[in-house]
Structure 1
Amino acid sequence: MLEENFQTVSDIAYHIISQKILDGEYPPGMKLSRRKMAEAAGVSVIPVIEALKRLEEDRLVESKPHWGSFVTIPTREKIRESYQLREAIECQSARILAEQMTPDQKLVLMEIATELDTVPYTYETVGDSRQSHLLFHTKLTEFTNNRLLTDTLRKINLFWVLCKAIETTTPIVSYPRYWHRYLVEEIASGDQDRAEIAMRQHVNNSLINLIATKD
């Protein structure tokens, strides 16, 4: 149990810096001074260097030779690339779950889906809605029992949160109110093709709405 909760100094720096990025305290394009990051995290510079490498792997930070590290700016091209990978991962997850999803797993997903489909998406609820959305898609991959799918989606989700964090207005959501429940039902049908088609539509509609905020 102690091993599971153990954190290195680099882990601590990573979590502190990444949270500041995702909260918008460190905005896109901001240069990340190693010395200032060390002060903010309460660690030395070496753990910060290790943390920045991990953040670069997560696509939250970009390194520019001779210039240093900067918070990633989510361009339309980067968003499209991220969603192409998301589509591949989530469509495969849907196909796997169409064959092996248990009644208990469907119940968990349907509970989250119902919340997402029925709670009004407003300025007051946007934070909780995003967390529920992340949980919904995380559970979808976790239930496949494929750790690689789950870990890759985790990194994609970090970039998604970064994109959402810089929106200055509440996004206009035109999704059908049954959107997430429909997806769960299509996966639960046991038909892999139906599950994949529903997921592909789900991901592509999400991309269209996110890209619209960049216009």
Structure 2
Amino acid sequence: MDSIADQLYGILSDRITTGAYAPGARLDPQAVAAEFGVSRTPVREALARLEHDQLIVTRPRSGTFVARPGVADVHEVCQLRKGIEWVATGIAAAAMPLEQIADLRAEAVEALQRAERGDYEPFFASDSRLHNEIVAATGNARLIKARTSTEPFVQWLRVLGATGPHRIAGSTRRHLEILDAMAARDATTAQQAAAVHLDEVEEWTIADMESEAITT
């Protein structure tokens, strides 16, 4: 069973990444403790994890606030993901069962069709599953942990940003290139597509941020 601190971390992280707590909003540790009927100790532990994940910031003599993600944050997260997923895609191209690859591909195609009708949630689910299962296929616990650490920030940017068919179509095209290369057991091509994909995600996200399509 998760500790109280783990549960608080999950709840507060979800509130931040779903936009319930806006960027720049103040977090009062005493109010959090009172809301959940817990002592200050698990609250401090949860907030320390959130700060480690760069979802909140603590300013001396000012307090604790939800972070405001910027261009540098996007660049750092995409660089980290690119390094992890380039390695993972190479391994998964040899290790992932063909049936699993085909299932991910079918889901990606269906998600694109749903997005073209204005329903974006299937794409978010497909996107998250694809990237997570590629990393999971490595069986490397440290790679998996490092990739998992980026997920709250990635989800946060999705909520803050503007999503449209042009972005989803571009991402789906790369997803299919990755999966088709993996199905052919062509690790080099799969890795190249994964690297280009993360570069494009970074470029698009920063463009949205600078055009204020992403509000922080």
Aligned to 2:84: 89
Letter in 2 for 1:35: Q
TM-score when scaled to structure 1?
A: 0.87
Pairing 1:29–2:20 present: no
TM-score when scaled to structure 2?
A: 0.87
Distance 1:196 1:184 in 2: 10
CA deviation vs aligned residue, 1:119-155 (integer Å, no higher than 9, x gap): 2256x52334223211221111111111211121112
Aligned to 1:137: 131
Contact 1:13 1:38 in 2 (8 A): no
Contact 1:117 1:180 in 2 (8 A): no
Aligned to 2:214: none
Q: Post-superposition shift, 1:67?
A: 2.9
Letter in 1 for 2:106: E
Aligned to 2:121: 127
**CA separation of 1:108 and 1:64: change in aligned 2, threshold 3 A:** farther
Contact 1:60 1:162 in 2 (8 A): no
CA deviation vs aligned residue, 1:54-83 (integer Å, no higher than 9, x gap): 112222122333333221211011111110
> Alignment partner of 1:59: what SS?
coil
Q: Post-superposition shift, 1:85?
A: 0.6
Distance 1:46 1:178 in 2: 47
Most deviating of 77-86 and 93-102: 93-102
Aligned to 1:156: 150
- Aligned structure 1 segments of 4 or more residues deviating by more than 4 angstroms: none
Contact 1:116 1:132 in 2 (8 A): yes
Unaligned runs of 5+ in 1: 1-5
**CA separation of 1:139 and 1:40: change in aligned 2, threshold 3 A:** farther
Most deviating of 176-185 and 89-98: 176-185
Unaligned runs of 5+ in 2: 211-216
Percent of pairs with identical residues: 27
Aligned to 1:50: 45
* CA RMSD, 1 decimal: 2.0
Aligned to 2:65: 70
**CA separation of 1:118 and 1:60: change in aligned 2, threshold 3 A:** same
Pairing 1:201–2:201 present: no
